Every structure is written in structure tokens, then in C-alpha cells.
Chain A
Amino acid sequence: DGGITQSPKYLFRKEGQNVTLSCEQNLNHDAMYWYRQDPGQGLRLIYYSQIVNDFQKGDIAEGYSVSREKKESFPLTVTSAQKNPTAFYLCASSVDRVPQPQHFGDGTRLSIL
């Protein structure tokens, strides 16, 4: 079955540590996205990529980094510069750029130790 796989489901970060969240899709979609969701809040865009080897900052990119070396993969690194990383992170993909519907993964919940 085609879909988006995010791993791990739960992740804990120590102070000063960088962590990487994985996102893989087998939908053959060109565009991929990373969102952050805080309790009681909507989703906020961190980064997006419309094509391999290209990505753009979203609304809250500070403290995060991404890469897009393969069409299928769009990992997100939460760096130590992100002072409030505790959140639910969702990866999405779409056939092309918005306004095509985005398909979402199951998310990764990141917490601080």
C-alpha cells in the first residue's frame, strides 16, 4: 500500500542534542512538507520541498534543518537551537505543490528529557 511512513513514533531529546525525524513516501509525490502541531493549535509549516535537492523555509524554520536527496525521503533535523521542540511533527506529501491535497503520515511525538 502506498503511503507515508514517519519514524520513530516517539522520540526523546536531551538538552543540546540534535535529533532527526524520518519521513519516507512511496506515493511518487514530488512535493513534501513538515508541519509542527502544538496542543490546541493548528499545523504550522516548518519546511517544504517541491523537488529533489530543493527546499524552502516555512513559517517556523528556525532551529530546524532538512534535506531532500531522494524523491522518497525528506528527513527533518531538530537542532539544539530549537529551544522549545516538544511537539507533534507531521510529514506530508502531494502530487505537486498545493492546492493538491496533501497526504499525511502518522506523526512523531518529540519530547525533552
Chain B
Amino acid sequence: AQKVTQAQTEISVVEKEDVTLDCVYETRDTTYYLFWYKQPPSGELVFLIRRNSFDEQNEISGRYSWNFQKSTSSFNFTITASQVVDSAVYFCALSVRGGSQGNLIFGKGTKLSVKP
């Protein structure tokens, strides 16, 4: 069975602080894909990144960076120098190749509040 755990329910930081959102996943499949989505107060989910299980390179996109470690089954997301606009709920999700087609398994999300 597949599972995604985001242990941090809510995080509150002050603007310009760095913050890391944790994501731990479970799967027995060797081929899988990991995603991060952002859900601002308006409600829609915004795709941030997709990573496949064969690519463990860390990725940086502006103030965002992702640390994928298969050894610990983690795919953590760091925001550097946080801004108020980063306030949102962030979801980590897992998909396995050959699994129930169309099934993204979501974690419960981490609500990030960035205060000025």
C-alpha cells in the first residue's frame, strides 16, 4: 500500500525565515513519482514539482528547493527567505507506475503561515 505522511500540520514563521516542509512516503514500487502542490486561500492547487524515483538530484527553483532522499523515503521542501505570499497549504503526493491509474495519493497537507 502507498502512503504519504506530512507530520507538520501547521507551521508559522516570520517573513524572511527559512522553512522546511517534511514529506515521508511509503511504497514498495521501485518506480514512482513524487509531487508538491501549493493550495493558496483561493482554493486551486498549483503544481510545483514532480520527481521520479530514479532521479535523486536535489532541485532548486528560485527560493524553493527540494531534497529527495530514497534512503529515508523523504521528499522535503524548503522555502528560503519566506514571504507572506508563500502562505498556503502545501501538499506532497505520490503516484506509482502501474498503480490504479489516475491515483495521486496525497498527504494531509501542511498549512504554512508567513507573518510580516
Contacts and interface: CB of A to CB of B under 8 A. Distances in A.
Given A42-B109, A43-B91, A58 B44 contact: no
Interface of B: 4, 9, 33, 35, 37, 42-47, 50, 52, 91, 93, 95, 97, 100-104, 106-109
Interface stretch (A12-20, A21-29, A75-83, A97-105): A97-105
A50 B102 contact: yes
B91 A99 contact: no
Contact of B44 (A97, A101, A104): A104
Interface string A69-113: 000000000000000000010101000011101111111000000
Contacts of B46: 104
Contacts of B37: 104
A59 interface: yes
A43 B35 CA distance: 13
A2 interface: no
